[in-house]
Amino acid sequence: MTLARQLISAVSLVFLVMLIGVEAIYLRGAQTHLQDQLESHAQDAATSIGLSLGILLVRGDNALAETVINAAFDRGHYARIEFVNRSGEVLVSKTLSPQQGEKYPQWLAEVFPLEVPTAESLVSTGWQQVGRVRVTSHPGHAYAQLWDVARWTLLLLVLIYAVALVVLRLILKGILRPLSAIEAAAQAISRRDFVTVDAHPSTRELARVVAAMNSLSRKVREALEVETARAAALREAAYVDPVGGLLNRRGFSETFESRYRHERKFFTGAVALIQVSDLARVNQAHGQARGDQLVTSIGSGVSEVARDADGLAGRWGGGTFVLVVPDADLGVATQRLEALQTRVRSSAAELGLETEVDISVGAVFVEGDRPALEEFLAAAEEALKQALELRVDTPQVRRLRLEAGQSGTQEQLEILRAAIAAGQIHLFGQRAFALPGAEVLHTEIMGRLIDASGRQIPAAEFMPLVTRHALSAQFDRAVVGKVIERASRADAGATIAVNLSARSIADDAFGDWLGGALTRALARRVRLVFEIGEYGVLQDEAAARRFAERIAKLGARFAIDHFGVHRDSLALLRRLGPAYVKLSAVYTRKLADDIGTRFFVESVVRAARQLDVPVIAQSVEDEGTLAALRALGFGGYQGFAGGRPSPWLPE
């Protein structure tokens, strides 16, 4: 119940008590007044009739007495009028039934009873007494008057109440209007959007509440901004080259591993090394500032090519840059590298250094391999050596020879398609545990295939096929459908996490199907969390936001997997408000030994905690890492330290 309704209800209750009290007091007063009137009415009538009869009965004509009594009885409100002689004989009697002519409810007479008065008057002719007149008033008219008083008093009080209610409503609307702004601000803060209230209530108490809420919101926002800035600064220092603004060797390696390896993204494209020779000589001849200008200009070109190709760029060290061009065939990749080499030469020419530096590009083209950066770079270095030796103006591109079956066989593709069509996905689950305790947070579901020999095919082997052949939405649909089908056998209240691809959440047909599936899951009281990789979220953040809002209305939640690699990672927390994030596994393995990684991760955890977003570590395999996670304030962990994946609710 709203505050306005509570206040109105309280006022109405008080008014009801007052109404009953006023009505009772007023009616009691009217009852006393009417009682007096009845007594006076009876006595006046008896005296008047007695005097009249005394004059008219001088001659002893009793018929005149009846005429006088009839006339008085007909124009008055009397229950009985009697004329008796001296011996007590009733000579004339007129009586009216108590029920005759009533215009009031019977309960009124029971609640406010009126005594029926009887008055007497002697009838005398001269000095001789001839009889007595007894007059009894009829209470019907008095009760009718009392009923009119009750009704009109009640009507007037109700009218006053209605007017007072309207006035009170208007007053409360003005007084409580700031509460709506306070409520909206509180809801925004609960969504981790630390806004302030612009309302300035005139009520002192509400003004204090607004000031306190604004102060709290500002302090939390400032603390969050400080933590976010600290984490961003640590990340820049640890993973970004200070001159060109590109990822340094460490940042590039970890980003590549998280984006292409841990997310099991199918990789087709080129990995290139761009080397600017004689950079040290440029620094000596023209100064460090001129050399930094050249590095920045080249870095800008490499970064632009990576951005256009939705790839990855970095400075490998000194005058060597690294570029990843994904999802491209050999011809397209070569064209991009040629354009890059031309642009780099133009950058050197603009600085007047085209004759002092040589630009060489060596690349490896890979198709269908699960990403292995070390192997790719080794092949790219061989191509770069060839380019340096030949001193050619075109990129030298090598193909990486794959081992048999490394890119996924046709047999695996057929198994995959058949399994998706028939729903023959085998589900495995791995639990995530809370920290510092060991409560189960959720069970993450993983899909695996079984080949003709009965061997389990892990996702790392067939997910490249899923991506390459645009089967992501179909595969996710098969997995989610099977999860919901079996979820009724899960423990009551258990939370189940399912990974979805970025292509699935952007697919309207998949979204419509998932809406119906979640409705059925809600009926079974299944608690679902859908995890989407950070890279996939950043590819189409608007689609991710629409997806998160849609499933929230259906009782499911949204989380981010492989978190912390991108520069905008912490900004995603405020913009999307996930249920939790799973930190990229590239950081987990380095927590114990790398102080820079530890500082960065600690800042991420602290910033996420300000937003009430738990951070879960992935690929945790030993007690030493668990101890580090507890010390850093992680909300949970997942990995072999908590158990290997096992069949989930098998038939």
Tell me the mean pLDDT in the region 245-272. 79
**Contact yes or no for 513/477 (Cβ under 8 A):** yes
* Range of weakest confidence among 53-62, 313-322, 437-446: 53-62
Domain boundary among 365, 399, 433: 399
Say what the pLDDT of residue 416 is.
78
Say what the pLDDT of residue 407 is.
44
Say what the pLDDT of residue 224 is.
74
Say what the pLDDT of residue 404 is.
40
Tell me the mean pLDDT in the region 349-364. 83
Confidence of residue 406 (pLDDT cuts 50, 70, 90): very low
Residue 324 lies in a domain: yes
Whether 113 and 145 share a structural domain: yes
Confidence of residue 510 (pLDDT cuts 50, 70, 90): very high
Return the CATH number at 536.
3.20.20.450
Residue 214 lies in a domain: no
Can you name the residues that pair with 558 across neighbouring β-strands?
Answer: 530
Say what the pLDDT of residue 548 is.
92
Range of 541's domain? 410-647
SS3 content of the chain, % helix, strand, coil (to 5): 55, 20, 25
Domain boundary among 114, 141, 161: 161
CA torsion 65-71-74-80 (nearest 10°) is -20
Whether 595 and 642 share a structural domain: yes
Residue 131 lies in a domain: yes
What's the first-to-final CA gap in the chain, in angstroms?
Answer: 49
Run of H or E including 310: none
Backbone dihedral angles phi then psi of residue 390, each to the nearest 5 degrees: -80, -20
pLDDT above 80 for 268: no
- In this prediction the pTM is 0.66
Pairing of strands 440-450, 495-500: parallel
pLDDT above 60 for 34: yes
Selection from 562, 414, 416, 468 nearest residue 265 by Cα: 468
Exposure string over 210-238, b if 16+ CB within 10 A, otherwise e: beebbeebeeebeebeebbebbbebbbeb
Whether 391 and 422 share a structural domain: no
Residue 85 and residue 82: Cα distance in Å, rounded? 10
Whether 589 and 565 share a structural domain: yes
CA-CA-CA-CA torsion sign (399, 400, 403, 404):
negative
Say what the pLDDT of residue 16 is.
83
pLDDT above 70 for 452: no
Tell me the mean pLDDT in the region 53-70. 73
Of 29-33, 522-526, 579-583, where does the model show the most confidence?
579-583
What are the tens digits of pLDDT across the range 617-639? Answer: 998 988 888 888 998 999 999 99
Residue 462 and residue 476: Cα distance in Å, rounded? 13
Say what the pLDDT of residue 524 is.
60
pLDDT above 80 for 308: yes
What are the tens digits of pLDDT across the range 138-149? Answer: 888 888 888 888
% of the chain surpassing 90 pLDDT = 14
Query: Looking at 217-298, which runs of residues are DSSP E strands?
Result: 267-276
Residue 153 lies in a domain: yes
Residue 555 lies in a domain: yes
Q: Which residue has the higher pLDDT, 514 or 169?
A: 514
What's the count of helices (H) and strands (E) in the chain, helices before strands? 21, 19
Residue 497 and residue 441: Cα distance in Å, rounded? 10
pLDDT above 80 for 403: no
pLDDT above 90 for 578: yes
Cβ-based neighbour number of residue 640 at 10 Å? 12
Can you name the residues that pair with 496 across neighbouring β-strands?
Answer: 443, 528
Domain boundary among 373, 399, 425: 399
Whether 316 and 284 share a structural domain: yes
Whether 501 and 385 share a structural domain: no
Whether 284 and 420 share a structural domain: no
Query: Looking at 400-493, which runs of residues are DSSP E strands?
Result: 426-434, 440-450, 456-457
Say what the pLDDT of residue 433 is.
95
Tell me the mean pLDDT in the region 380-409. 74
Query: In sequence order, which residues have a C-beta less than 8 Å from that of residue 237 and are 6 or more positions away?
Result: 596
Tell me the mean pLDDT in the region 47-56. 80
% of the chain surpassing 70 pLDDT = 91
Residue 51 and residue 65: Cα distance in Å, rounded? 11
Whether 361 and 427 share a structural domain: no
Give how many domains the chain has, as a whole number: 3
Say what the pLDDT of residue 102 is.
60
pLDDT above 50 for 57: yes
